[in-house]
Amino acid sequence: MMSLSQEALLVREALVAEGLETPLVANALNSQQKKEKIEGHMRSIMETLGLDLADDSLAETPHRIAKMYVNEIFAGLDYATFPKVTVIENKMKVDEMIMVKDISLTSTCEHHFVTIDGLAHVAYIPRGKVIGLSKINRIVQFFARRPQVQERLTQQILLALQTLLGTKDVAISIAATHYCVKARGVMDSTSYTTTTSLGGVFKTQPDTRAEFLAGLKR
């Protein structure tokens, strides 16, 4: 088993302590074993639906889905894939808000296993540390690559960044389209869901909160 980075361990421990970790049950399956089991189950589902797996268009679909689940869209369930994070001393003494907008994310609704597609906006006020900007995008995408509910996803990103940066002064907003609403059920193709999670001065100081919210509109 691949050892986890110190950053991955810290983030996982923080999420567990706050009750924000994705509901997980440990198993001893390695990546290949997971793919084999998923492929077999997917084959059974397709056969139950009456699909002809002898057809050349469908024959490899169970394998493709298994590979996609483990290596791609659910890769964030494995902390071995947690991004390598660069956090450095705030030598320039930056003390104003840093904001990264329009971070694309694609996740999966844990209730129906269909797509959630949206944008995340992340801000923080540096104290002793600053983080490489691309690492913010990677952390967002790590937690998106799980079965999710948007509310938990928002809070997971917030707590991960607070843990790594050593400050509560972090704010997250996500706006996303849920295909469980768009493609089934009510079939509303235009609505989207916005969630916001604020920490530190973003929560306690109205001016800082207003600056963040105003930045979302630019």
- The active-site residue out of 21, 36, 63, 180 is 180
> Cα angle at 22 between 128 and 155, to 5 degrees?
40
Amino acid at 57: S
Residue 141 annotated among the catalytic residues of the structure? no
Structure token pair of residue 76:
């964030």
Residue 111 annotated among the catalytic residues of the structure? yes
42 closest CA partner among 113, 105, 109:
113
- The active-site residue out of 150, 155, 156, 162 is 150
Residue 7 annotated among the catalytic residues of the structure? no
Other beta carbons within 10 Å of 198 = 20
77 backbone dihedrals φ, ψ, rounded to 5°: -75, -15
What does the alpha-carbon distance between residue 202 and residue 193 come to, in Å, rounded to a whole number? 21
Does 112 carry a binding-site annotation? yes
Cα–Cα distances (Å) from 189 to 113, 153, 180, 186, 195, in that order, read: 18, 22, 10, 9, 19
Residue 180 annotated among the catalytic residues of the structure? yes
Does 121 carry a binding-site annotation? no
Does 180 carry a binding-site annotation? yes
Residue 110 annotated among the catalytic residues of the structure? yes
Residue 109 annotated among the catalytic residues of the structure? yes
Other beta carbons within 10 Å of 157 = 25
> Cα angle at 73 between 105 and 40, to 5 degrees?
160
- The active-site residue out of 32, 41, 47, 111 is 111
- The active-site residue out of 7, 39, 109, 211 is 109
Q: Active-site residue numbers?
A: 109-112, 150, 178, 180
Q: Which residues are annotated as a binding site?
A: 109, 112, 180
Q: Which residues line the annotated binding site for Zn(2+)? A: 109, 112, 180
